Amino acid sequence: MPHTVLLAEDDRAIRNALERALTLEGYQVMAVADGVEALAQAHRNRPDVLLLDVMMPGIDGLQVCRVLRAEGDRTPVLMLTALVETADRIAGLDAGADDYVVKPFDVEEVFARLRALLRRTSPVGAAGAPAAGAPGPLPERFVEAAGIRMDPQARRAWRGARELELTRTEFELLELLVRNAGIVLDHSTIYDRIWGYDFGPGSKNLAVYVGYLRRKLDEPDAPQLIHTVRGVGYVLRED
């Protein structure tokens, strides 16, 4: 079955062009013009992934994302935005978005990011074997390091007794660091494992996610867990 994309974009020319391109790429597309329609469509026919424009009249893409996340809907969300400042990206991550594409964009980049999001949500096949195209084997029930305990199957994580509220990308980034605790992971390795491709040396995407994850992990009078190794990458350890 083809993957279903819910596309919400108020610019008719962009919406029509994306709908045609996605359809030709093999997706089943539900295209709407605003956030109200996007929420209604998401409630009627849950898509495999959402492609949301940030700036829409009425209910914008960030509000759509917030509503869905508040309802417990974890469908991956790719944002389309003309806003490129770090604060704007953080606002999208705070709303629960998984990734973003900056306008003007190359449609091939949209395809690549959609593929990466869908790979990360591919189901596990029968008898515990990964489904076709799903990365890696079924993980063990719990992983633990540096006071962090994670249940990958239930997608739950704790620091000590405190449960962490994490987005999909934050969870996967933390799981990668926990499984490699004490090992410095370089930027390209993290990009490849989490997003499926490297954004390039000028990208701030990883730094934004690490900063947001630190805010959720850090506690007063407790050691910082995620450390920056300048010019290399990041490592999880208790100092």
pLDDT in tens, 82-100: 776 666 667 777 788 888 8
Residue type, 124: V
CA geometry: angle 170, 220, 176, nearest 5 deg: 25
Report how far residue 139's alpha carbon sits from residue 159's, in angstroms, rounded to the nearest whole number.
Answer: 20
* Residue 70: per-residue pLDDT: 82
Predicted TM-score of the model (pTM):
0.57
| Mean pLDDT of the region 41-70 | 89
DSSP 51-100: EEES--SSS-HHHHHHHHHHTT----EEEEES--SHHHHHHHHHHT--EE
Maximum pairwise Cα distance, the chain: 54
CA geometry: angle 57, 168, 150, nearest 5 deg: 155
Residue type, 114: L
* Residue 200: per-residue pLDDT: 65
Handedness of CA 87, 41, 115, 135 (dihedral sign): positive
| Mean pLDDT of the region 188-209 | 76
Per-residue pLDDT band at 210 (split at 50, 70, 90): very high
* Residue 139: per-residue pLDDT: 43
Q: Is the pLDDT of residue 197 over 70?
A: no
Q: Is the pLDDT of residue 202 over 70?
A: no
pLDDT digits (tens, 9 = 90+) for 117-175: 887 765 433 333 334 344 444 345 688 888 999 988 788 899 988 999 988 888 889 99
